[in-house]
Amino acid sequence: MSSLLERYEEIVGTEVIHQLRQLAEPLKGVRTVHVNSTREGGGVAEILHRLVPLKQELGIHASWEVIEGNAAFYKCTKRMHNAFQGTPVEIPPGLLENYETINEENAGKLRPALQDSDLVFIHDPQPAGLLRYFSERKGKWIWRCHIDASRPHRPVWKYLKRFVRGYDASIWSLAEFAQPLPHPMYVIAPSIDPISEKNADVSAEEIQDTYSRWNLDPKRPIITQVSRFDRFKDPVGVIQAYRMVRGFIPVQLVLAGGGATDDPEGGEVLEEVKLAAGDDPDIHILELPPDAHREINAIQRVSTIILQKSTREGFGLTVTEAMWKGKPVIGGDTGGIRLQVINHHTGFRVNSPEGAALRIRYLLKNRDKLREMGHKARQFALENFLITRHLREYLTLMLAIMY
Ligand code: UDP
């Protein structure tokens, strides 16, 4: 059985793997821990599932801890998330008190894992409050923000800033997202794992099964958006775009999504989506369990075009996942989608359902262009958004912070 790293060699080349080993050499034995708020669902969990074992394989003492909260906690942190993305939400003092209490409780539970760690990576707002309970900490603490916080709702940012300003450094997905903080700030774009169940090649048989399993017609174009049911992902806008195309071309629409344990709004948004879809037999709303990685992989592969019509997006792993599968992406002109969808090259960026519909129709009518964009998308993902690049940047940052 080859090592994990060796399996990437075929994709990214020997040099890249060699460089990772070299960079990791001085970090051997370093104790590092990542902390987030869910083991399944959403982009952060997706990344940690691979990043942590890879660090381990490089000789770093890496681990991953997940904080536990109650319903009120996730309600509060979802509001924080929405506020970071610009929604003017108020968070009642009771919810904030609960946020702090939950962080305090988790600090107690996680003390053995975090206290003596050399580097602690705290992901997003949920566990950001842990730091204040580690006044005797030995290592460096880094806050990793995955959210588009370029225009946050000020009162909520002001509240969270009290916690995050104390970190030794912070990491953001795009430079534009970074808020002024009194510590070094780094920019690292997220990534996908090309050998995971979500992204590895799929057999022709499995592809065939996918059509029948979800009742999809292989002869007609399939437009897909894979996302948690979240308003910022604009699933209803996707349905509107589909309807504008449907009058001209007999497309099918797939909205595939599940929940994340730290996202309490999913059920409500799903109901809105079902209402918007009505009884159209060509709209397929697939509610998938959090471990449906192979299914999502195959769905992305049977799709003609992938949409990610978000109105705010930290990065949008789903965009890279689609690009890696050679699909052009029509994405909302926002946040991390701008890094990935190079307008007119790897896909199109749009600002409305009308814009999305126009681009879908264009690509379906110009199949050569669709294929060309798909090739470029795959190449762009290969060069920029694979986990090996991500890991290299983490290692470089760890070296910069530790030495
Ligand atoms: N995802 C999934 N099941 C779903 C919906 C999404 O496994 O039902 C995955 C998706 O393939 C991607 C990640 O969750 O890997 C979502 O990351 P992204 O950055 O696109 O959005 P986030 O949910 O973090 O806002």
Count of alpha carbons within 13 angstroms of residue 57, beta-carbon side? 17
What's residue 319's pLDDT? 98
Q: Using a 6 Å cutoff on CB, does residue 328 contact ligand 1?
A: no
- Mean pLDDT value across residues 311-334: 97
Which residue's CA lies nearest to atom 17 of ligand 1?
43
d(CA 41, CA 299): 17
Question: Is 227 close to ligand 1, i.e. is its CB under 6 Å away?
Answer: yes
Q: Buried b / exposed e across 20-55, counting CB within 10 Å, b at 16+?
A: beebbeebeebbbbbbbbbebbbbbbbbbbbbbebb
Token pair recorded at residue 327: 């699909």
d(CA 158, CA 342): 34
Decide if pLDDT at 234 tops 90.
yes
Is the CB of residue 338 less than 8 Å from the CB of residue 66?
no
Ligand 1 centroid, distance to 266 Cα (angstroms)? 13
Residue 61's closest CA among 30, 26, 24?
30
Q: What is the pLDDT of residue 195?
A: 96
As a whole number, mean pLDDT of residues 317-325 equals: 98
Q: Which residue has the tokens 């590895």?
A: 200
Average pLDDT across the chain, whole number: 96
pLDDT band at 258 (very low <50, low <70, confident <90, very high): confident
- Asked if residue 317 has its Cβ within 6 Å of ligand 1, the reply is yes
54-104 pLDDT, tens digit each: 999 999 999 999 999 999 999 999 999 999 999 999 999 999 999 999 999
User: Cβ(77) to ligand 1 under 6 A?
Assistant: no
The finding on whether 225 has its CB within 6 A of some atom of ligand 1 is no
Q: What is the pLDDT of residue 119?
A: 98
Does the pLDDT at position 2 exceed 80?
no
Beta bridge partners of 222: 252
pTM reported for the whole predicted model? 0.94
| Residue 391 CA: distances (Å) to CA of 16, 27, 189, 398 | 11, 13, 11, 10
- Cβ(131) – ligand 1 distance below 6 Å: no
What pLDDT shows up at residue 1? Answer: 52
The answer to whether residue 339 scores a pLDDT higher than 60 is yes
Q: For residue 262, is pLDDT > 80?
A: no
The partner residues of 142 in beta bridges, in order of sequence, read 121, 169
Q: Amino acid identity, residue 26?
A: P
Pull the structure tokens for residue 25.
């050499």
Cβ atoms of 327 and 309 closer than 8 Å: no
In short, whether 316's Cβ falls inside 6 Å of ligand 1 is yes
Q: Is the CB of 288 under 6 A from ligand 1?
A: yes
Half-sphere exposure of 196 (CA within 13 A, CB side): 24
Residue by residue, what is the 3-state secondary structure of 214-268? CCCCCCCCEEEEECCCCHHHCHHHHHHHHHHHHCCCCCEEEEEECCCCCCCCHHH
What are the Cα distances from residue 258, in Å, to 86, 226, 285?
24, 9, 10
How far apart are alpha carbons 137 and 107 in whole angstroms?
12
Q: Tell me which residue has its CA closest to atom 4 in ligand 1.
A: 257
Q: Which atom of ligand 1 is nearest to the CA of 41?
A: 14
ipTM: 0.98
- Whole-angstrom distance, CA of residue 337 vs CA of residue 316: 6
The full DSSP string for 108-120 is: HHHHHHHTT-SEE
Question: What pLDDT was estimated at residue 381?
Answer: 98
- Closest Cα to atom 24, ligand 1: which residue? 43
Residue 42 CB less than 6 A away from ligand 1: yes
pLDDT band, very low/low/confident/very high, at 363 (cuts 50, 70, 90): very high
CB count in 10 Å sphere of residue 234 = 24
Q: Verify whether ligand 1 is closer than 6 Å to residue 312 (CB atom).
A: no
129 lines ligand 1 (CB under 6 A): no
Query: What is the pLDDT averaged over residues 209-238?
Result: 97
Task: Please compute the mean of the pLDDT values over residues 393-403 and round it to a whole number.
Answer: 95
Residue 396 contacts residue 203 (beta carbons within 8 Å)? no
Closest ligand 1 atom, residue 318 Cα: 20
CA–centroid distance, 106 to ligand 1, in Å, is 25
AA letter at 269: V
Of 317, 324, 338, 385, best ligand 1 pocket probe by most atoms within 8 Å of the beta carbon: 317
CA distance 84 to 147: 7
**Looking at the predicted structure, is the pLDDT value of residue 328 above 80?**
yes
Query: What is the torsion angle, in degrees rounded to the nearest 10, for the CA atoms of residue 375, residue 378, residue 381 and residue 382?
Result: -110
Contacts of 359 (CB under 8 A, 6+ apart): 330, 348, 350
Structure tokens at 290: 């959090």
Q: Which helix (H) or strand (E) holds 144?
A: strand 140-145
- As a whole number, mean pLDDT of residues 343-350 equals 98
Mutational pocket test of ligand 1: of 39, 197, 228, 270, the residue with most ligand atoms within 8 Å of the beta carbon: 228
Distance 41 CA to ligand 1 centre (A): 6
Sheet holding 61-66, edge to edge: 61-66, 31-36, 119-123, 140-145, 169-172, 185-187
